[in-house]
Amino acid sequence: MTKTTTMKDIDEVLGLSTSTVSRALSDSHEINIETKKRVLAYAESVNFQQNPMAVSLKKGKSNSIGLIVCDVANYFFSQVIDGVDSIAYDNGYHLIITQSHDIYQREIENVNHLAKRHIDGLLVAVASSTFNYDHFSQLHDKGIPMVFFDRDNPLGDIPSMTIQTYQSSFTATEYLIKKGAKKVAFLGHAEHLSTTQERRKAYLDALEKYGLNADASLMKYFNYGNSTSKDLEGLITNLFSADNKPDAVFIASDRLSNACLLFLKKFQENNNIMLSGFNNSDMAELFSPSFSFIRQPAFELGQSATKKLINLIAQKTKFDEDNLQDLVSTFHPYK
């Protein structure tokens, strides 16, 4: 087994002090150019690698940003990650990605893991099963900058970035009604989430505008953090097989849209049901059955949240909001 070269080994070979070698490796201006070249050349010849954890502890900066999302495979969150990475990379930050799967305990474990990695800042989409935010408060109290995104900020003194979805949700529901739907169901993520509440309000307002009564039996919610795929299939089966069966569904979540489309693809007799809802897939226009979809600027959300976080890391007293545009989702009707 090959012995790993340490800084002490370099000290002994070159006859220099540990502090001199350390400063040379960190490109300090306190070391003359010839000594620096000598140290760097030897370090490269023996493939010396500094311990990044030790360096970050010494500098008090790791040049890394932690990111907690609910589900990496979700189209929306994968696009958010791209947006985060585009800004983080351009500003010299490495990105450490974790996912909670909307499970509270996993979110806590992710926070603890990232804290041990000495991240410079944290971006979070809070898990749907999270009702206690002590793990975030404790990190915040330690001086770690944080920005919440997508879902509303659970802690008032921590900034957040969200997308406006009311108008597109209203338009999507209205579109189904104008197409002749009389029984429009609502299928949403966890009922307590701010995103679900905003989209449900738009749905209810659209029903009211056209004189349709809101039917509680046609409003269903699914919390991924506390459920299984079988639970989801059962919920959708119940919605489409009940005596009070809807003739259209407004779906207030990307993952639920995909689940509904798969269900209707499997059971062809339900293909006359009209659907509209959220989906950030680039292939949404090709979905079968036909699907009118709402697309969110997920990439831009990731960029905006990261810009805000980097500004906080730099300890600027006020973030320049003027450089950020309002983020609004858009409705794309099926023609």
- Residue 325 placed within a domain: no
Torsion from C-alpha of 273, 277, 278, 281, nearest 10 degrees: 40
pLDDT tens digits for the chain (335 residues)? 456 677 777 877 888 887 787 777 766 667 788 888 887 888 888 776 665 555 444 455 779 999 999 999 999 999 999 999 999 999 999 999 999 999 999 999 999 999 999 999 999 999 999 999 999 999 999 999 999 999 877 787 889 999 999 999 999 999 999 999 999 999 999 999 999 999 999 999 999 999 999 999 999 999 988 788 889 889 998 888 888 889 999 999 999 998 888 888 777 555 678 999 999 988 777 776 678 999 999 999 999 999 999 999 987 444 445 455 679 999 888 76
**143/206 same-domain check:** no
CA–CA distance, 286 with 296 (Å, rounded to integer):
18
Contact at 8 Å (CB) between 223 and 187? no
Contact at 8 Å (CB) between 177 and 212? yes
What total number of domains does the chain contain?
3
User: Domain containing 204 — which CATH number?
Assistant: 3.40.50.2300
For residue 289, is the peptide bond before it cis, meaning its omega torsion is within 30 degrees of 0? yes
CA 275, distance to chain mean position in Å, is 25
- Residue 1 placed within a domain: no
For residue 246, is the peptide bond before it cis, meaning its omega torsion is within 30 degrees of 0? no
- Residue 266 placed within a domain: yes
- Residue 302 placed within a domain: yes
Query: What range does the domain containing 26 cover?
Result: 7-50
Contact at 8 Å (CB) between 52 and 120? no
**70/178 same-domain check:** no
- Residue 289 placed within a domain: yes
**191/271 same-domain check:** yes
**157/303 same-domain check:** yes
Q: If you search the block for the tokens 């995104």, which residue do you land on? A: 149
- Residue 260 placed within a domain: yes
**93/201 same-domain check:** no
